[in-house]
Structure 1
Amino acid sequence: MNARTMSLRGRSKGRQAANSSAMDAAARWGFAARGVIYLLIGLLALQIAFGGGGKQADRGGALAEIGEKPMGSFVLWALGIGLVGMCLWRLSEALFGAAGPDGHKTSTRLLSAGRFLFYGFVAYSVLTFAAGDKGGSSGDEQSQDVTAKAMELPAGQWLVGAAGIGILGAGLWIGVRAAKRSYHKHLKLGQMSRGAKRYIDVTGVGGGLARGLLFAALGWFVVKAAVDYEPDKAKGFDATLRSFTDTPAGPWLLVLVALGLVLFGMFSFGMARYRKV
């Protein structure tokens, strides 16, 4: 058996694994885990909007909220494992292509590779939290520390600025795709009832717009930190959400964004049911 034949067989087995029922279950478990985290971040942000802002409205705050509940440790491990499943599914898309007519395009596979790295980081943070490492600093402090270290690199100010523009652009891209309902091409529309389609559209558009606005604001603060050469101006989820109360709309903008994040959590549950994998 020559090397080419072995390579083809290896790829064939890889594709079979990527299209297996186990990978299907892993991806859906991952969407559900993502939904739980965004739902809790949204609820924590609502508490801040109405004056009960003691807890961080970010992933760390959501995990701490879960950990305080009965069976919290079990749920944390379940979420972490679900996110590992999401990570592996995105890796399989990057290696073997995604479902749909555009799934084998280079741009689609590169996007899946980026999502693999992102969800790998999120899964690691959730699993380490479940294992007892609660972290020594908040998400906001971590953002400022990373920004400060990046600025110490050669051309660090430009690198941070470019990263901020990238995050801001990603937020706008998320919002536009949500408004255009681009997620429709990934859904099993033929298996969905009229009520299910309405549920997906309400949660998908509202949740996507809120998530896009949040990421765009995150990117803006990173850009501002780079321009002013002040790492402390970079913000994490919690500080960015709280900053919405400083706008002319006051706490009501935060309420809208928080409700949107709750909707995005619900949208993730819908994707766990109806997403093509």
Structure 2
Amino acid sequence: MNTRSVAAQGSGRARRAANSKAVEVGARAGFGARGAIYVLVGVLALQIALSGGGKQADRGGAIAEISEKPFGKVLLWVLGIALVGMALWRLSEALFGSAGPDGHKPTKRAMAAGRSVFYGFVAYSVLSFAAGDSGSGGGSSDKQSQDVTAMALGWPGGQWIVGIGGIGVAGAGVWIAVRAIMRKYQKHLKMSEMSKKVRQAVDFTGVFGGTARGIVFATAGGFAVAAAVKHQPDQSKGMDDTLRSFTDTPAGPWLLVVIALGLVAFGVFSWANARYRKV
């Protein structure tokens, strides 16, 4: 058996593993875990809007909130493992392409690789927190953002790096919102398997939730650009301070109420993906 046939067999086995039931289960579990985190962040943001205080409304706050519940540590282990499943599914998309006619495009595979790294990091932070390292998953996103910004601003050309990064995050937020409004998510879902009421619910949560999520990303990117222009790391904000900033608008806390409900809706939309996503 020559080297080429051995490599072909190895590639075939890897592709079959990527398309296996285990990877599908991992992906669906990952969507479920993502949904739980977004619902919790939305609820925490709603508490901030209605009471003016509250716990930090970001992934760290959600993780800390879960850990305080009965069997909280067990739930964190379940969430962390589910997010590992999401990371592995995204990795399989990067290596072998995703479902759909354009799933093998280089841009799609590159985005899948980036998402794999992101969900791998989130999974690590959740599992580390579950294992007892409270400084990993439960830390403040605001402090983390400011620390990273301060470090980057100290590099040669740091202002440009932070500014370009902020523009990238803001652009990603606009892209997320526009795709949600245009209902681009529908091509990734098994819409034909949904009843009329389920389709309506999925469209409502997909558009509303995706738009709210995009606005949060775009706003956070704007703060990063401001930090670069002013050369002030404290101008950079994580999710918690970004959400709190909506209360400083003329709409007051009511804009944050809308955004918070949108994040809850995105969490519910993630749960719909756990059921109907084409994997």
Secondary structure of 2:134 counterpart: coil
Q: In the TM superposition, what are the counterparts of 1:54-93 in structure 2 within 5 Å?
A: 54-93=54-93
Q: Which amino acid aligns with 1:84?
A: V
Q: What is residue 150 of structure 2 aligned with on the other side?
A: 148
> What is the alpha-carbon distance in structure 1 between the residues aligned to residue 167 and residue 52 of structure 2?
32
* CA apart distance, 1:110: 0.7
- State the number of aligned residues: 277
Q: What is residue 21 of structure 2 aligned with on the other side?
A: 21
1:97 aligns with 2:91: no
| TM-score scaled by length of structure 1 | 0.98
Deviates more, 1:185-194 or 1:24-33: 185-194
> What is the alpha-carbon distance in structure 2 between the residues aligned to residue 87 and residue 43 of structure 1?
25
1:269 aligns with 2:271: yes
* CA apart distance, 1:80: 0.3
The partner residue of 1:166 within 168, 191, 214 is 168
Q: Which amino acid aligns with 2:116?
A: F
Q: Which amino acid aligns with 1:101?
A: P
| TM-score scaled by length of structure 2 | 0.98
Please give the per-residue CA displacement for 1:88-138, whole angstroms capped at 9, x wherever unaligned.
000000000000101111111011011111111111111111111111851
Q: What is residue 10 of structure 1 aligned with on the other side?
A: 10
Q: Which amino acid aligns with 1:10?
A: G
Q: Which amino acid aligns with 1:181?
A: R
> What is the alpha-carbon distance in structure 2 between the residues aligned to residue 52 and residue 2 of structure 1?
69
Q: In the TM superposition, what are the counterparts of 1:38-57 in structure 2 within 5 Å?
A: 38-51=38-51, 53-57=53-57
Q: In the TM superposition, what are the counterparts of 1:100-115 in structure 2 within 5 Å?
A: 100-115=100-115
Q: What is residue 257 of structure 1 aligned with on the other side?
A: 259
Q: What is residue 194 of structure 1 aligned with on the other side?
A: 196
> What is the alpha-carbon distance in structure 2 between the residues aligned to residue 252 and residue 151 of structure 1?
34
Q: What is residue 214 of structure 1 aligned with on the other side?
A: 216
> What is the alpha-carbon distance in structure 1 between the residues aligned to residue 89 and residue 205 of structure 2?
23
* CA apart distance, 1:151: 1.0
**CA RMSD after TM alignment:** 0.9
> What is the alpha-carbon distance in structure 2 between the residues aligned to residue 139 and residue 108 of structure 1?
28
Runs of 4+ in 1 over 2 A off after TM superposition: none
Q: What is residue 135 of structure 2 aligned with on the other side?
A: 135
Note the residue ranges of structure 2 that are not aligned, 5 or more in a row.
Answer: none
* CA apart distance, 1:52: 5.2
Secondary structure of 2:51 counterpart: coil
* CA apart distance, 1:9: 1.1
Please give the per-residue CA displacement for 1:197-251, whole angstroms capped at 9, x wherever unaligned.
1111010000000000000001000000000000110000000000000001100
Secondary structure of 1:84 counterpart: helix
* CA apart distance, 1:6: 1.6
* CA apart distance, 1:53: 2.0
Q: Percent identity?
A: 65
Q: What is residue 124 of structure 1 aligned with on the other side?
A: 124
Q: What is residue 235 of structure 2 aligned with on the other side?
A: 233
**Conserved in 1, the CA contact under 8 Å of 2:44 and 2:54?**
no
1:175 aligns with 2:213: no
Secondary structure of 1:245 counterpart: helix
Secondary structure of 1:273 counterpart: helix
